[in-house]
Amino acid sequence: MSGCCDTNITFDGASAAYKRVLWLVIALNATMFVVESSAGLFAGSAALQADALDFLGDSVTYAISLYVIGKPQAWRSGAAMFKGISLGVFGAAVFGLTLYRVVVTGMPEPVTMGAVGGAALAVNVLSALLLFKFRNGDANVRSVWLCSRNDAIGNVAVILAAVAVAWTASPWPDLIVAAIMATLFLKSAASIIAQARAEMAPAT
């Protein structure tokens, strides 16, 4: 019954269920930023520090997503554009951190990397599952899903890096994973920005 009427309607986040999910995901991300940033410094892991930075960025940008729900299309597209640009900045920052770690190399502590990476993976998988049914919304809604999906992928990579660091007694797996995560951030940033620009054109 809805096929002929709703095919061109894009979900904009204006539902009580989505807002509740978003509040929960914001709280989870903010908590993991505190945990993972501390653990990243303790373990000397570039991959953990990169992931912690992403948790911080997600907390802020998800709050922006929540704020613009129900606002005009131009506001929602503008918020998505900001998130895309922010994600690109985070990606560049992670690349910079990785290069710094290559120059000032140090051996990360793999047990802490693996344990905290596992906790972060659990949080991000839960967030991604909660957001899964909202993944095909407008740029503002879709950007939240993409960030959560990327985080879960990144956490799997961090755990694999921890295993590889322990196995090889080398910091390179940690650095390689950090670089891969940065690339994923930049790719998602480009996708979000492209969709936001397309949505801003009719809105303006």
pLDDT computed for residue 26 by the predictor: 93
Distance CA 125, CA 142 (A): 16
Distance CA 123, CA 128 (A): 9
Which residues, other chains included, contact 199 with Cβ-Cβ below 8 Å and sequence gap of 6+?
Answer: 73, 76, 77, 80, 138, 139
Domain boundaries, the chain: 13-199
pLDDT computed for residue 9 by the predictor: 54
Both tokens of 126, joined, read 């839960």
Per-residue pLDDT of the chain (204 residues; tens, 9 = 90+): 333 334 445 677 778 888 898 899 999 999 989 888 888 878 777 767 777 877 887 888 788 888 888 788 788 778 778 878 887 887 787 777 666 666 665 666 678 778 888 888 898 889 888 888 887 777 777 778 877 887 787 778 778 887 887 888 777 787 787 788 788 778 878 877 887 788 777 654
- The verdict on pTM exceeding 0.85 is no
Q: Are 158 and 51 in contact (CB under 8 A)?
A: yes
- 3-state SS, residue 188: helix
pLDDT computed for residue 156 by the predictor: 84
Distance CA 8, CA 93 (A): 38
